[in-house]
Structure 1
Amino acid sequence: PELSKEEYYEAFLEGLKWLGIEWDVLDYASDHLEKFYEYAERLIKEGKAYVCSCKSSEIRRNRRLMKECKCRKNTTKENLELWEKMFSVLREGEASLRLKISMTHKNAAMRDPTIMRIVEHSHPRTGNKYRVWPTYDFATALMDVWEGVTHRIRSKEFEMRKELQQFIQKCFGFKSPFITEIARFNLEGVPSSGRKIREMIKKGELLGWDDPRLTTLIALRRRGFVPEAIREFLISTGVSKAESVLTWDMLESFNRKVIDPKCNRYFCVLNPVKIRIKGAREIKETQVKLHPDFPERGERRIPIDLDEIYIEREDLKKLRGKVVRLIGLFNVKLDKEANFVGDEIVKEMPKIHWVSKNNVRVRILMPNGKIREGIAEPEVKKLEVDEKIQFVRVGFCRLDRKEPELFFYFTHK
């Protein structure tokens, strides 16, 4: 309960829907607490479980030393009395129900594991109705059986828990489902552990579960990745027990293939410097294709003031004195006072993006968690929230919100 939040439930279900995954039945382990109590009490009455009053530090120490504690010798009557007190007078940390297996077992997970414990935290679904909760192993072992699970695929970090969960199922005469453990894939430099991510969010090192540096579904979705690309990426990695570290480039390449044909193009200058253009014919606006490969989508109109053209400061620095193409406009010899030199499109000529008057202020959250500001052509004001576009020579972006200003998440180049 202490780690459960309503937002986690919602995010998990929303992520599955977004990926196109449908389920037949939606069930929550927290809806079966009374049934867990019934099964736990059966174990006590059969002498297969006992209530332990040792502190958690002592339990860990005894497991490490393979040493039994005095609680293991409780009578069934004593255990049932203590079990009842776990629901009333005993406090969190004062007692837990442990399965009686063997404290000398070679698998540490089998050394009298805790299966029920007191948790004095409110639960998002049940509130404060319950205070005794099953551990992961006890809950998983029984829920699999109750739900009729026949095959389970999970990451191999739970490999050592397999023996314990099958032991629990055997205690009640249940047939265990077939379990396959596979390696989780990790993206280079990206934390994937829920515990570690929670700690980083708490410390302020991450913006939240949708931080653009993460690979959570909510983060990928907000950045502008699409389900089709994620599915293809996962299929391409295959299923294996061997650990593998993948790169953002691999995921981005799959996403680029999907979104590139769909994303209309716009201009945005992130580090603007103003130039003037001399010698050109008087022009009030130009029309540029929304997508160079799909002319049927139409064009966007960009207003022009030849005394107020903004380009990237880096372009001016690198290309000063050279003839360049202002994309969708004409050619100039680049300088703070640029000279018009013609309209002919030359393949080898450097091509740069630009904006002019009536530009729009935008902010872009980058993958490193930092925000870049820039100015974009006015047509971007027509975009809808969640729309994905490409800022020419900048990269693909997703519009996250329009108020109080246009705010984008950078997807990738």
Structure 2
Amino acid sequence: MPANDENSSDKEKCLELFLKIGLDDRTAKNTVANNKVTSNLTSVINEAGVTDGCNRTVGNLLYTVATKYPANALPHRSTLLQYVVSAKVKTTAQLDAALSFLGATGSENLDLNQFEEACGVGVEVSTEDIKHVVNEVAEENKATILELRYRVNVGVLLGHVRKRLPWADAKVVKQLFDAKLYELLGDRTAADDEKPKKKKEKPAKVEDKAAPVATSEKPPEEDLNPFLIFPNPDDNFKVHTEVPFSNGSILRCCNTKALLEKHLKVTGGKVLTRFPPEPNGYLHIGHAKAMFIDFGLAKDRVGSCYLRYDDTNPEAEKKEYIDHIEEIVRWMGWEPFKITYTSNYFQELYEFAVELIRRGHAYVDHQTPDEIKEYREKKLNSPWRDRPMSESLKLFEDMRCGLIEEGKATLRMKQDMQSDNYNMYDLIAYRIKFTPHPHAGDKWCIYPSYDYAHCIVDSIENITHSLCTLEFETRRASYYWLLHVLGIYQPFVWEYSRLNVSNTVMSKRKLNRLVTEKWVDGWDDPRLMTLAGLRRRGMTPAAINAFVRGVGITRSDGTLISVERLEYHVREELNKTAPRAMVVLHPLKVVITNLEANSAIDVDAKKWPDAQADDASAFYKVPFSNVVYIERSDFRMQDSKDYYGLAPGKSVILRYAFPIKCTEVILADDNETILEIRAEYDPTKKTKPKGVLHWVGQPFPGVEPLKVEVRLFERLFLSENPAELDNWLGDLNPYSKVEISNAYGVSSLKDAKVGDRFQFERLGYFAVDQDSTPEKLVFNRTVTLKDNYGKGGK
């Protein structure tokens, strides 16, 4: 049987096995596509003895073991699996506690009594127990719940329950708490969907750098050129890095005059940068900053920027990600000089590796990953470090020809095991992987590491400025060491701080988990900070680039930028470009009794706030008929001085149309539910009430207005920095997405296309979603109209 057929057959068997243990179809297929997770999960299933299947709860726990089990505690994995299969460890909370305990224990002897106590074995939490504690917490916080209603921070309240009942089933806790909220509050109203008003904060002091004051005007830092910090290419012989060695000597890495002249002859002195994403997921807003710096510097210096795929890990890479990256780079407004792949240079990289061995700077090692880790921690040389050069050359050739099993050998750089820099401890240059490459095919079974490949490819492509985030700063020594010992051109390396945005996660591992476990609706879910998600939400490239430009190219790490700062730039952009329209989310019928049933008055509504009366293109027609609809939250049975909505006997202005006065309220049989309002309009417009309401009228007598679906999005996480939390998934905002399926919109929206953006008056900025059909338009709220950035936001 051909190898491809065997591989396909193995994958089908694995898929069947994963479905047997209760994984949903999507998770099972995604798992099969990842060789490492497939191998781990298959081993776990066999070790647990459930190859004939198990229930879904056990299966999901086994999946978590396969993906999160601490490598230093492998001797105890079978013990944990028996606890899972026997339902002694049966909740996610228990399993997380077990994994934490085992990670701390490592390979030492396992005290079962301590283990069982640590993860709640034998502790039974009944539904009645949970209900009792939920009632307690709700009662203790009743005043806050009644005041804030559905805007209350449910995550905090659930945290109180979890603290008292750590081993309770999280899903049951959530269900019972939701039921309790409904018991206290009843149905959600339109007012519940509005963001709570924040108290005005005092301006921060000038010296308080942790909370810079933002204004409604353009932030001043955007007027500065952020690229002035970078040297010109012909200064690269002055740029050096000191690499200290254990014998006290220092290697100064910099270009010789001959190397620099050769480089400048090829490039003509032009700036060359590269944007080097790994195609193992979708790009997020942190990559927007990287793009701005890489492409922006090249544009500022009239140079060029490569889009280079760092595709050295075939197990994690997919064509879907490769295609997405190219598309999103162009959507962000950047045009690559060339699109290249690290895999384009596999032959050159292999030849450099052979040369590295010949020069005595690399050797073939047979240590296992755990042994390499242990020896590096103890600063011990590998037993194979001083093997003869000829022997390493022969073994490396055997690796290339597929004659050595996967995991049985690596090629390591002979650096400095006594250095103070962990990234000089003989980093791996090549490893064996019998996995076809999505770009290079099945030509290679050895693949270079990032630490080995990226600096050499930078040199091959004559990159002038190799720019990366601060976590790579300690690798700068290895970067220059390798180029120095090979005697090839050295680019200027500079690190900048990562972009950290509040109320989200940007780790690809965490994002992948959110997607694969269906906590969100895919990589382009509008609640994610992926660029695909931001695009679908309606944010523009111009706004995103203005945001990252304003953040700057600093080296101060750890600053958490408020998401409100991004929203400020989005509002600034959409306020100029998004036409106005009117939509009613929760329609309440108003019958105008002094307007004939079969008549309608067309009124002019503005697409733009500063529209001139003689500019017909800046207006759209809205029919004012005897039946109109207002927001349900804009009507009250009891009026008050600080209320500007409609109430019995009170008048309001319908925007662009006429004043109306409520004359009668039609109630249902329960004498509480409002069915419709009766009102009279003032055709003379002499009435001047303070309240102005948006509204939607019937386009024709007896015909309902345009029905649309509206999706309201809030922060995906309740905490500002969920990535710091152990149980970060427990911080997900249960109300981050609210779907309103029966909203009404003005007729002018009927021809809107996917991606079109509008300002819905009084509601926010919205974009047409890709889920729209000819039968119904779907709108995503991009941002609300209210701007908090100027009130102390970072």
- 2:632 alignment partner in structure 1: 313
Q: Secondary structure at the match of 2:340?
A: coil
**Which AA in structure 2 matches 1:31?**
N
Contact 1:212/1:366, CA 8 A, preserved across alignment: no
Aligned pair 1:400/2:769, yes or no? yes
Deviation at 1:147, TM superposition (A): 0.7
- Residue 260 of structure 1 aligns to a residue whose secondary structure is helix
- What's the secondary structure of 2:415's corresponding residue? coil
1:351 aligned onto 2:713:
no
Distance 1:113 1:302, change over 3 A: same
1:356-371 matches, within 5 Å, as 356-357=697-698, 358-368=704-714, 370-371=737-738
CA change 1:285–1:382 in 2 (3 A) is farther
Contact 2:592 2:680 (C-alpha < 8 Å) held by counterparts: yes
How many Å separate the matches in 2 of 1:407 and 1:91?
53
Distance in 2, Cα, partners of 1:29 & 1:132: 14
In terms of mean alpha carbon deviation, does 288-297 or 43-52 score higher?
Answer: 288-297
Deviation (angstroms), 1:137: 1.4
1:41 is aligned to 354
Q: Which moved more, 1:341-350 or 1:6-15?
A: 341-350
Q: For residues 34-183 of structure 1, what are the structure 2 equivalents within 5 Å?
A: 34-87=347-400, 88-183=402-497
Higher share of residues assigned helix: 2
Q: 8 Å contact 1:285–1:301 — kept in the other structure?
A: no
Q: Does 1:327 align with 2:655?
A: yes
- Report the Cα offset of residue 389 of structure 1: 0.9
**Aligned-residue offset at 1:367:** 3.0
Letter in 2 for 1:294: A
Cα distance between partner residues in 2 of 1:55 and 1:333: 81
Deviation at 1:32, TM superposition (A): 1.1
**Cα distance change on mapping 1:249 and 1:387 into 2, 3 Å:** same
Partner Cα distance (1:313, 1:171) in 2: 73
Give the counterpart letter for 2:474 in structure 1: M
Contact 1:266 1:389 in 2 (8 A): yes
Query: Per the alignment, in what secondary structure is the counterpart of residue 403 of structure 2?
Result: coil
Structure-2 change in CA distance of 1:32 and 1:175 (3 Å):
closer
Aligned to 1:293: 610
**Structure 2 CA distance, aligned partners of 1:225 and 1:69?**
52
Q: Which has the higher strand share?
A: 1
1:337 alignment counterpart: 677
2:523 maps to what in 1?
209
Alpha carbons of structure 1 residues 303 and 33: separation in structure 2 relative to 1, 3 Å? same
Q: Which residue of 1 aligns with 2:578?
A: 263
CA distance in 1, matches of 2:483, 2:689: 70
The change in CA–CA distance for 1:254 and 1:95 in structure 2 (over 3 A counts) is same
Secondary structure class of the residue paired with 2:652 = strand
Amino acid at match of 2:426: D
CA distance in 2, matches of 1:337, 1:25: 64
Cα distance per residue 1:354-402 (max 9 Å; x no partner) = 2233323322343345242222223211112221111111111111333
Give, in whole Å, the separation in 1 of the partners of 2:687 and 2:451.
Answer: 67
User: Percent same amino acid among aligned pairs?
Assistant: 30
Backbone CA RMSD of aligned residues = 2.3
Which of 749, 759, 783 is the aligned partner of 1:380?
Answer: 749
Q: Which amino acid aligns with 1:234?
A: V
| TM-score, with length taken from structure 1 | 0.92
Q: Distance in 1 between matches of 2:737 and 2:379?
A: 50
Counterpart for residue 242 of structure 1: 556
Any conservation in 1 of the 2:659–2:689 contact (CA below 8 Å)? no
Pair 258,346 (structure 1): closer, same or farther in 2 beyond 3 Å:
farther
**Residue 284 (structure 1) aligns with:** 600
Query: Aligned pairs, how many?
Result: 412
Residues 330, 340 of structure 1: 8 Å contact kept: no
Q: Which moved more, 1:49-58 or 1:330-339?
A: 330-339
1:382 alignment partner AA: D
Q: How many angstroms does 1:162 deviate by?
A: 0.7
CA displacement at 1:20 relative to structure 2:
2.3
Distance 1:263 1:140 in 2: 42
Give the TM-score of the pair, scaled to structure 2. 0.49
Q: What do the CA deviations read for 1:252-288 (whole angstroms, capped 9, x no partner)?
A: 2222222213211222222223232323466424332
Change beyond 3 A, Cα 1:261–1:340: farther
Shift of 1:140: 1.0
Superposed counterparts of 1:214-229, under 5 Å: 214-229=528-543
Superposed CA deviations along residues 210-266 of structure 1, whole A, max 9, x for unmatched, are: 222333322222222222222222222222111322222211222222221321122
1:146 deviates by: 0.4
Cα distance 1:364–1:80, how it changes in 2: closer, same or farther (>3 A)? farther
Give, in angstroms, the shift of residue 117 of structure 1: 1.2
8 Å contact kept, 1:68–1:103: yes
Structure 2 SS opposite 1:72:
coil
CA separation of 1:271/1:58 partners in 2, compared to 1, >3 Å: closer, same or farther? farther
Q: CA deviation at 1:191?
A: 1.4
Equivalence for 1:193: 507
Shift, 1:348, TM fit: 6.3
- Partners of 2:611 and 2:746 in 1: how far apart? 20
Looking at structure 2, the residues matched to 304 and 57 of structure 1 have their Cα atoms a distance apart, in angstroms, of 75
- Conserved? CA contact 2:653–2:689, under 8 Å: no
User: Matched residue of 2:534: which SS?
Assistant: helix
For residue 12 of structure 1, report the CA deviation from its aligned partner. 2.1
Q: Are residues 131 and 346 of structure 1, via their aligned partners in 2, closer, same or farther at CA, if it must alter by over 3 Å? A: farther
Structure 1 distance, partners of 2:345, 2:756, is 42
SS in structure 1 at match of 2:750: helix
Amino acid in structure 2 at the alignment position of 1:376:
G
Q: Distance in 1 between matches of 2:710 and 2:437?
A: 37
What's the secondary structure of 2:526's corresponding residue? coil
Instruction: Tell me which amino acid in the other structure corresponds to 1:264.
Output: P
Counterpart of 2:697, as a letter, is S
Q: 1:345 to 1:291 in 2, by over 3 A?
A: farther
Alpha-carbon distance between aligned partners in 1 of 2:481 and 2:687, rounded to the nearest angstrom: 74
Distance 1:106 1:346, change over 3 A: farther
After the TM superposition, which of the residue ranges 39-48 and 133-142 deviates more from structure 2? Answer: 39-48
SS at match of 1:83: helix
- Measure, in 1, the Cα distance between the counterparts of 2:686 and 2:369: 75
What SS does structure 2 have at the residue aligned with 1:340?
strand
CA contact (8 A) 1:267 1:392 kept: yes
Note if contact 2:590-2:677 (Cα within 8 Å) is conserved in structure 1.
yes
